[in-house]
Amino acid sequence: MAQAKQMKPTREKRTEFKFTRDLFDGIAKQNVVLMTGIVNAPVVIAATTFKKGVVIALAFAIISFLTILTCSFIPKKIVYTLRVIIYALVGSVYYIPTVLLLEEIFPLTVELIGIYMPLIITNALIFSKTESRFYLESRGRMVIDVLFFVIGFGAVCVVTGGFREIICFGTFAGFKILDISISAFESPFGGFILVGIMAGMFRALYNFMRNRRIKQNAEAQNIAAAGSVKAEGEDTHSPLPEHIG
Amino acid sequence: MDKLALFINAAMLAMFVENAIFSRALGTSVAFYASRKKESIVGLGLGITYVIVVSSFITYWIDGWLAEFKYYYVIMPLIYTVIISIVYTGSLLLIWRFLPKVFKSIKKYVHLSVFNAAVLGALFLNTVYHEDLFSYIGFGVGISAGFFIAVFFLHIANERLNSPLIPAAFRGMPIMMVFVGIMSLAFYALTGYNTGAAA
């Protein structure tokens, strides 16, 4: 009996809630489009206008957030090979009210997005990031973390959609602002090339900022270290106590 | 003979015109992952082909029954997910029962070849474009073959694209995306894409 008790699997302890820098990873360091590239199709193919970008971002946010939150209550005792089925089913259940709601607000846009709308339910944030990151955190921290990941995706989606609308049609959110039309950027190859270049530039900018921060921290540490050495030096060169002299 | 023609037509359409990666960006992240190793290309390719073909066969009958339902397009993802899940669970149980060694080696990554945009997207496209069983299955086979071809191209390019000649920030995913974009352009040219520049 005691042996059986010992054999019982113990639940892994989740990390405690701490408001640390890595909580913002979803926006830049681990952005799902530009840094890790685990969610591509809706941005590359469907986000060709600002409005489409907004709709995809909203659908992604609602479906991913609710699915991840709901599935965090599924016991870990169920093996992952089977748990993914529940993730997919929960995602497709949340898809129903989400698409009905968005159809009420943006009726034509949802139709134009086509098959890329339901494909959101198979996104890698739900199937991969949950196991490697979200479900290892405390629930409060997980909620904030998922929110930042969703915001990171949404920002890229909206910016890409807006930019493509400007260069493809010369409009922004339906309003004419420029007299240009480079229709190639509306196509999948235009989307791939644009997102690839955006990802490269974003990574370059991120690396530049990180290196600068590391350099600044190192300099600050050097200054602090030099200050403490100087202070120690002053201590050692201090006049000898009177009784020694 | 007509049925064979339908099958081949749908397969060719799926492979070149509606290529899963180059034309539709379906399962791009899985393709990037699979392109790293030759073994993963074969494993994932076979897995995806099996799931798409079997699921296409089932969805053909379901589509026939539910096509008239007003809100079918809303519940379609749920129904397709249920179908994929049944195919996935049934196949896993069979492998576990009869090929335990294979099950042990694939169980960690098998979900990648099932729950991805390529599988679900193929089923949606099938519903949009086709009406007969042979086209459904032909399209399923074609889209899997197209995925396999695309991943093979990515695998060949993978080593060169990660060379030191590429700027560090572009190495990996960004340059791969640009490469896929250029390949996509080539596939578009194959099907006669017109940018309107000549007009």
> Given a cut of 80, is residue B138 above it in pLDDT?
yes
Residue A16: the pLDDT is: 65
Query: Out of A39, A122, A195, whose CB is closest to B120?
Result: A122
Q: Is residue B73 part of a domain?
A: yes
Residue B69: the pLDDT is: 84
Give the best residue of B75, B81, B154 to mutate against chain A (max A CB count within 10 A).
B81
Residue A76: the pLDDT is: 87
Query: How is residue A118 written in tokens?
Result: 């339901």
Residue A178: the pLDDT is: 87
Residue A1: the pLDDT is: 44
Count of residues in chain A: 245
Residues 60-89 of A with CB under 8 A from B: 80-82, 84-85, 87-89
Q: Coil, helix or strand for A47?
A: coil
In the predicted model, residues of chain A with pLDDT beneath 50 are 1-11, 239-245
Query: How is residue A105 written in tokens?
Result: 């607000």
Tens digits of residue pLDDT in B112-125: 888 989 999 999 99
Q: Which residue of B has its CA nearest to A189?
A: B181
Contact (CB<8Å) B75/A81: no
Residue ranges of domains in chain A? 21-210
As beta bridge partners, residue A22 has none
Residue A242: the pLDDT is: 46
Residues 170-229 of A with CB under 8 A from B: 183-184, 187-197, 199-201, 203-204, 207
Number of structural domains chain B divides into: 1
Mean pLDDT of chain B: 88
Q: Is residue B35 part of a domain?
A: yes
The alpha carbon of residue B9 is apart from the nearest alpha carbon of chain A, in Å, by: 22
> Given a cut of 80, is residue B77 above it in pLDDT?
yes
Reported confidence tier of residue B110, pLDDT bands at 50, 70, 90? confident
Residue B109: the pLDDT is: 77
Q: Which residue of A has its CA nearest to B90?
A: A82
Tens digits of residue pLDDT in B16-70: 888 999 999 998 988 988 888 887 888 888 889 999 999 999 999 998 888 888 8
The alpha carbon of residue A13 is apart from the nearest alpha carbon of chain B, in Å, by: 22
Which ipTM was obtained for this model? Answer: 0.90
Model pTM score: 0.87
> How crowded is residue B39: how many other Cβ atoms within 10 Å of its Cβ?
9
- Domain hosting B167: range is 11-190
Contact (CB<8Å) A183/B196: yes
Query: Out of B25, B111, B185, whose CB is closest to A41?
Result: B25
Residue A245: the pLDDT is: 35
Q: Which residue of A has its CA nearest to B184?
A: A189
Contact (CB<8Å) B175/A121: no
Query: How is residue B116 written in tokens?
Result: 């991805």
Q: Is residue B1 part of a domain?
A: no
Contact (CB<8Å) B174/A199: yes
| A47 at interface of B, judged by CB pairs closer than 8 A | no
Query: How is residue A35 written in tokens?
Result: 């840094």
* Alpha-carbon gap, residue A124 to B29, rounded angstroms: 8
DSSP string, B113-164: GTSSHHHHHHHHHHHHH--SHHHHHHHHHHHHHHHHHHHHHHHHHHHHHTST
